[in-house]
Amino acid sequence: MSYLAASQLVGGYGGANILHECSLFADCGKISVIVGPNGAGKSTAMKAIFGLVRLSSGSVSLAGNDITGLSPQARVRCGMAIVPQVENVFPSLTVHENLEMGAFLRQDPIAETLQEVYELFPALAEMRTKEAGDLSGGQRQQLAFGRALMTRPTALLLDEPTAGVSPIVITSLFDMILEVAERNIAVLMCEQNASQALAIADTGFVLVQGTNRYTDSGPALLANPEVRRSFLGG
């Protein structure tokens, strides 16, 4: 079984279900990518795995332990972290304070992790004392990323990390995601930039109307003519 595994998720935000028996997984040191058309339930699936969506059935497990009933905060304690798509920083706090707040749950010294995050995102080190609200789109995304890493998670969920940033920055963000995965973290992300994301994916999920349509390695999905035609625009 995979390190982070969600099986047969059914649920939504009250009212009609958005997820219909959707199954996803991610392994340590590997990148899993969820792609699919708008409204396929990509973000909902991410939120469901983090406990932010009410599930009517299905289960989520982390390192073999069932965590389906845990609150999002409890999941953070278990080693999960999420980077929401929007409003993912504290705008009136400085960059440094944002990172400190990311480590709020930790009781041990955080200096070392701070150093690591600043090394991973040198742009943030320069902006240490700036308010997060004054950062550019790409810098803010890096900060959101860094904030999530402050708890030293073993599983990282990224909800459309490249939404609203420029194409050049997108490429460098993908590089950083690869670098994060190299630290033996299980990365699960959903992405609008499907072809670019699948290129770095160890596992790719194509989600349609809340259910799995294709599951394969990233390059295999990219090579699949049907996937190309229907979801990657040719």
Partner 1 sequence: MEAINALVLLGNYVIVPGIAYGSQLALAALGVSLIYGILRFSNFAHGDTMAFGAMVAVLLTSLAQSLGISIAPFPTAMLTLPFAIAGTVLLVIAFDFAVYRHFRSIRSSPVVFVIASTGVMFVMQGLIRFIVGPRDRDLGDGARFVVNAREFKAALGLEQGLSIKVSQSLTLGITIIAVLLLFWFLHRTRTGKAMRAFSDNEDLARLSGINPQTVVILAWTLSAALAATAGILYGLDKTFKPIIYFQLLLPTFAAAIVGGLGNPIGALAGGFVVAFSEICITYAFKRFLAYLLPENLEPTGLVQLLSTEYKFAISFFILVVVLLIRPTGIFAGRSS
Q: How far is the CB of 76 from partner 1 (least distance, A)?
A: 5
Given a contact cutoff of 8 angstroms between Cβ atoms, the answer to whether 191 and 160 are in contact is: yes
If binding is defined by CB under 8 A, does position 102 make contact with partner 1? Answer: yes
List, in sequence order, the alpha helices (H) in the chain.
42-49, 72-78, 95-102, 111-120, 122-126, 137-149, 167-182, 194-199, 218-223, 225-231
**Which residues does residue 34 pair with via DSSP β-bridges, in sequence order?**
190, 205
Selected range binding partner 1 among 17-25, 92-100, 121-129, 185-193, rule: CB under 8 A: 92-100
Q: How far is the CB of 117 from partner 1 (least distance, A)?
A: 14
Residue type, 107: Q
Q: How far is the CB of 105 from partner 1 (least distance, A)?
A: 4
Q: How many residues does the chain have?
A: 234
Q: Could you tell me whether strands 203-208 and 31-35 are parallel, antiparallel, or unpaired per DSSP bridges? A: parallel
Considering only residues 30 through 89, tell me which ones interact with partner 1, judged by CB under 8 A: 72-73, 76-77, 82, 84, 87-89
Number of residues that bind partner 1 (CB under 8 A): 21
Instruction: Determine which residue in the list 10, 63, 93, 123 makes contact with partner 1, applying CB under 8 A.
Output: 93
Which residues sit at the interface with partner 1, rule CB under 8 A?
Answer: 72-73, 76-77, 82, 84, 87-93, 97-98, 100-102, 104-105, 147
